[in-house]
Amino acid sequence: MASESKETRLKQKATLEAKLQKRLALLAEKGLDEKKIARDALVKELKAKLKETATRLRAIAANVQRTAELAAVKAERLAKPKEEPSKAKKAAPEPPPEAKAKKKKKKAEEAKPQQG
């Protein structure tokens, strides 16, 4: 059941629901009460698989929605005219001159003990 296809998951869900209904009808026909039907191992398994399939369908829908949103954003971004890239490069801050002076002082101090 490791399918990422929505159609496949919908088919699996329909199949599981049909199996669950048959099992519930069989157990009701045998005269079992609701508590015993709810504790039936096959009923629990089918309900768990239905829950898993529903979760997967929600994930697939969320993925499709996110893909559509990203495509819309990309189309919008491509529709805008490009701004000059030089502005972005000029906006990059250079390190302050104090930092450069400190580095030079440190290098000078390190060099002195090695020489002497």
What is the reported pLDDT for 3? 79
Per-residue pLDDT reduced to its tens digit, 37-96: 999 999 999 999 999 999 999 999 999 999 999 999 999 999 888 776 665 556 556 656
Among candidates 41, 49, 67, which has minimal Cα distance to 9?
49
Q: Cα separation of 59 and 64, whole Å? A: 9
As a whole number, mean pLDDT of residues 17-43 equals: 96
Say yes or no to pLDDT of 1 above 60: no
pLDDT at 104 over 70: no
Q: How far apart are the C-alpha atoms of 53 and 6, rounded to whole Å? A: 10
pTM score of the predicted model: 0.62
- Residue 74 is given by DSSP the state H
- Decide if 3 contacts 12 (C-beta within 8 A): yes
